[in-house]
Amino acid sequence: MKAAIAAIYACILLCVLLVAIFSSLLLFYQPGVSAETSSSLSASLQYRDVPYASLSPAQKLDIYMPAIGKGPWPVVIWIHGGCWAGGDKSLATDSDSNLSMKKHVLSLIERGYAVVSINYRLTGEAKFPAQIHDVKAAIRWVRANAGRYGFDADRIGVWGSSAGGHLAALAGTSGDVDELENLSLGNPKESSRVQAVVDYYGPAGLGERVEHAIESDAGLSPDALPLLRALIGTDNLKEGLDTVKALDPVTYISPDDPPFFIAHGTNDSVVPAGQSVEFYKKLRKVIGPHNVELLIFDGAGHGDAAFMREAVSADNLARLYAFLDKNLKPRTFYA
């Protein structure tokens, strides 16, 4: 058990380092579209910095639409990563880092999807559940504004990586769960349910892991757990255990959850791949094996290029897009 706790410490400390590096890069980074994709993205980026709520300046989104044809379009909501403490919606297209969604955004709009990239309140501004409140508010906003923007309100998926993968998974398993809704953020009559989830190496099962660590009576230094402490708003994990369970996607698994596509790398030292494997197994038992897919990248680390760039094989891309088409497009789109 002590070894397991040490592993958790190491993972979170590495995540802190990644956030620090990432945040320093953002200080010198000015958003802009690369020359490689400027024409395609200029044609598809219809709306930038659209507010989906008014409580915080962070509550904004960008909308990318297919340049040809007409809607209503199925929607993929992209949720950026960054350990809940960093990152930005501009990573959808503006950066060439491994965290960029650019390749996938171009593929999605070419395949007839609208892509909505969202920002949400980070831990420097607000504690959990503010992050999932914002994600759900964005989902409700998309549904409420479907007619105006040409969205298909009945076909909304979420996709995220790392912390964004966690929030995508949590949105998937906790659709319309009252405890995780803040209807005062807007569009209270709309549902926050989604029809598909793509979870790239997001943490899951933290409630059970932290509970076991507490029961072992092992020392849990708050300095070794800065991100979890920042997210739950307390140095004491025993006091914050209920919050840890509340932020765990596993807590809310139910038979009416949407289909999931989970991807993880075997060399992930930030979020061990075993978390996704266990999450996958628990989902299979409840929603059925036909509704859950697991893709393991041998040798890939956290945020590896294999997830976002061309290094991913054509077969794996075909599998991913087939999942989205099956669950988000009317049958006439892919029959």
Q: What percent of the chain has pLDDT over 70?
A: 79
pLDDT digits (tens, 9 = 90+) for 56-76: 999 999 999 998 778 899 999
155-178 pLDDT, tens digit per residue, is: 999 999 999 999 999 999 999 899
297 domain-assigned? yes
50 found inside a domain: yes
pTM: 0.85
The answer to the question of residue 134 being in a domain is yes
For residue 44, name the pLDDT band (cuts at 50, 70, 90).
low
In a domain, 40, yes or no: no
CA proximity to 11, closest of 206, 186, 165, 142: 206
Q: What is the pLDDT of residue 25?
A: 31
DSSP of 108-174:
HHHTT-EEEEE----TTT--TTHHHHHHHHHHHHHHHTHHHHTEEEEEEEEEEETHHHHHHHHHHHT
Q: What is the number of other CB atoms lying within 10 angstroms of the CB of residue 72?
A: 16
The reply to whether 37 falls in a domain is: no
Token output for 268: 């992930």
Q: What is the mean pLDDT of the chain?
A: 83
pLDDT digits (tens, 9 = 90+) for 259-307: 999 999 999 888 889 999 999 999 999 999 999 999 998 888 888 877 7
User: What mean pLDDT do residues 101-129 have?
Assistant: 93
CATH code of 224's domain? 3.40.50.1820
221 belongs to a structural domain: yes
Q: Is residue 192 part of a domain?
A: yes
Count of domains observed in the chain? 1
pLDDT at 70: 82
Give the C-alpha separation, 334 to 191, whole Å.
Answer: 26
Sequence-distant (6+) residues with CB within 8 A of 10 are 269
Q: What is the pLDDT of residue 311?
A: 45
Q: How far apart are CA 206 and CA 241, in angstroms?
A: 10
Three-state DSSP state, 68: coil
List the domain range (segments joined by +) for residue 179: 2-29+45-334
Q: Is 49 among the domain residues?
A: yes
